[in-house]
Amino acid sequence: MAREAWGITADGNNFDTGRRGFLGSSGLAAIGAVIGGVLPLSRNGIGIPPAHAQAAPATAPAPAKGPQYLKFPGKNAGLVVLGEKPLVAETPESLLDDDTTPIEKFYIRNNGQIPEEAKDPDAWKITIDGEVNNKIEIALGELKSKYKAVTRRMVLECGGNGRAGFSPPARGNQWTNGGAGCAEWTGVPLADLLKKAGLKASAKYTAHYAADLHLSGDAGKPTISRGVRIEKAMEPNTMIVWAMNGKPLPNIHGGPVRLIVPGWAGSASQKWLTRITIRDREHDGPGMTEFSYRTAIKPMVPGDKADPANFRILESMPVRSIITNPANGAKFAAGTKELKLRGASWAGDLTVKQVDVSTDFGASWQRATLERPKNKYDWQRWTATLKLPTDGYFEIWARATDSKGAMQPHQAGFWNPQGYGGNAMHRIAVLVG
């Protein structure tokens, strides 16, 4: 089978995702499963080996030890793959050490199939319809030439960032803190187009649609269709963008054109944007209802069965800080008495007013030096110099406090089935000597 041919090593870990991707296609067995909709007894046709027919062990081994690293053209090999179908990869905190996150280090989140790269980006059409006086259909090239472009450095963060902190585990990709990055986005404020279209008094909410195909292959089914309140759509930092860090927006990041709705769950920033329909009520597309991007109104018992009536849509992301240097697991020479830290912090729609660090599990805290954001929704870099009393094992914890006084908790709280709002303090471990 393909396993041997494509270099899976004895520990099942060191496979070459990128190479496999270039030279092969999906496995025939998987295709068969799609077409036939059947449950074959086993792939090799000899049935389930007797050893596997026994009762399963109480605890299951992970499929592979340690992280699986991404192999994708133009992307940093330090990104950690959370899933390949759909392709999802997060950026370890220590790779978020640049003031502006380079494209190669920017996290990847897909919900469906990745579209083919657009051959003629400027011909890409965007439609604005629904509760507007004049429907707009505009090609990207026209958008670039007829509207005034702006560039802003803004955080984009997956709604599920921090999900791995929930106990019991919440359903979904188990992001640690790496579903975030801060890039320079160039485009036009969505408000400019909405004003041109003319919002009716009934305009309450947006509904975003895109070109990526649902994983099931059903072309009639949107992969994901999020939306935001019209007030957020009209604020000047919500943009339709075509460039990232001064380069044409890469296909893997939603190019040639996507939305950026800064401060809110990343999925609202629809990739491969084709249409925005203005609605007279909260949008109910895939990714808007039940427990998707929704948190509990009345806090629920972790792990209990949830009642959809008790849920409301997630809007602003919570405050978060990360230590970007040193890396988790760094070792220092014996006798090292001082450590210089660097980090980043951000707070959804708000700003960060304070970052503190601790080397004694939170018994005492030291204030970090915090920079101002370059513009609204930029992250805030911070630095601190720590004194260490002895050699040995230390954990460094970081916590940020937002402009309204909310501080990161020790644990991800307010459990919900799909794990939104997890913003436990970041911690790293270092060894001196």
Partner 1 sequence: MMLRLAWLALAGMLLIGPASAQTAFTPRDESPEEFAPGAGRDETFYACTACHGFRLVAQQGMTRAQWEDSINLMTRRHNMPPLDGKDRETVLSYLEAAYPPRAPAGRGGWVNPFAK
Binders of partner 1 among residues 171 to 190 (CB under 8 A) are 171-174, 176
Which residues pair with residue 407 across a beta bridge? 401
The letter for the amino acid at 29 is A
297 interacts with partner 1 by CB under 8 A = no
Count of residues binding partner 1 (CB under 8 A)?
Answer: 92
> Exactly one of 151, 328, 366, 383 binds partner 1 (CB under 8 A); which one?
328
The 350-389 contact track toward partner 1, x by CB under 8 A, reads ----------------------------------------
Closest CA to 193 of 271, 127, 249: 127
Are 243 and 187 spatial neighbours (Cβ–Cβ below 8 Å)? Answer: yes
Question: Which of 30/297 has CB closer to partner 1?
Answer: 30
Residue 219 engages partner 1 in binding (rule: CB under 8 A) = no
Q: How far is the CB of 411 from partner 1 (least distance, A)?
A: 7
Q: How far apart are CA 161 and CA 182, in angstroms?
A: 14
Written as six digits, the tokens of 343 are 């980090």
C-beta of 168 vs 389, nearer to partner 1? 168
User: For the chain, what's the residue count?
Assistant: 433
Please say which residue, 21 or 141, places its beta carbon nearer to partner 1: 21
The least distance separating partner 1 from the CB of residue 142, rounded to whole angstroms, comes to 22
Q: How far is the CB of 127 from partner 1 (least distance, A)?
A: 25
Name the helix (H) or strand (E) containing 136: strand 136-139
- Three state DSSP letters for 63-120: CCCCCCECCCCCCCCCCEEEEECCEEEECCHHHCCCCCCCHHHCCEECCCCCCCCCCC
Distance CA(41)–CA(419), nearest Å, equals 34
Radius of gyration of the chain (CA): 23
339 in helix, strand or coil?
Answer: strand
Closest distance to partner 1 from the beta carbon of 196 (Å):
30
CB 257 within 8 A of CB 149: no
Q: For residues 135-174, which are near partner 1 according to CB under 8 A?
A: 164-165, 167-169, 171-174
Q: How far is it, in rounded angstroms, from Cα 262 to Cα 270?
A: 12
Of 243-282, binders to partner 1 (CB under 8 A) are 247-248, 250-252
Interface pick for partner 1 out of 198, 236, 299, 303 (rule CB under 8 A):
303
If the CB atoms of residues 232 and 283 are measured against partner 1, the closer one turns out to be 283
Burial (CB count <10 Å: 0-12, 13-18, 19+), residue 126: buried
Q: By C-beta, is 127 or 174 nearer to partner 1?
A: 174
Q: Count CB neighbours of 38 within 10 A.
A: 8
Q: Contact region for partner 1 (CB under 8 A) — 129-137, 216-224, 259-267, 335-343?
A: 216-224
Smallest distance from the beta carbon of 371 to partner 1, in angstroms? 26
Cα 289 from Cα 284, distance rounded (Å): 6
Q: Which residue has the tokens 């030291």?
A: 366
Shortest distance, position 36 Cβ to partner 1, whole Å: 9
Name the 3-class secondary structure at 34. Answer: helix
- Exposed/middle/buried for residue 427 (C-beta within 10 Å: 0-12, 13-18, 19+): middle
Q: Which position among 299, 337, 392, 431 is part of the footprint of partner 1 (CB under 8 A)?
A: 431
In angstroms, what is the minimal distance from the CB of 208 to partner 1? 18
DSSP reduced 3-state for 396: strand
How many CB atoms sit inside 10 A of residue 331's CB?
A: 10
Q: Token digits for 296?
A: 């509990």
Of 24, 198, 236, 405, the one binding partner 1 by CB under 8 A: 24
- Of 45 and 389, the one with the shorter C-beta distance to partner 1 is 45
> Which residues in the 99-118 window bind partner 1 by CB under 8 A?
103-104, 114, 116-117
| Cβ at position 233, least distance to partner 1 in Å | 25
398 lines the binding site for partner 1 (CB under 8 A)? no
Q: Which of residues 32-51 bind partner 1 (CB under 8 A)?
A: 33-34, 37-43, 48, 51
**Contact criterion met (CB below 8 Å) for 182 and 344:** yes
Three-state DSSP state, 141:
helix
Minimum distance from CB of 257 to partner 1 (Å)? Answer: 15
Q: State in angstroms the smallest separation of the CB of 401 from partner 1.
A: 20
Q: Does 218 bind partner 1 (CB under 8 A)?
A: yes
Question: Least Å distance between CB 424 and partner 1?
Answer: 6
Site for partner 1 in 48-77 (CB under 8 A): 48, 51-64, 71-74
Told to check if 2 binds partner 1 by CB under 8 A, we report yes
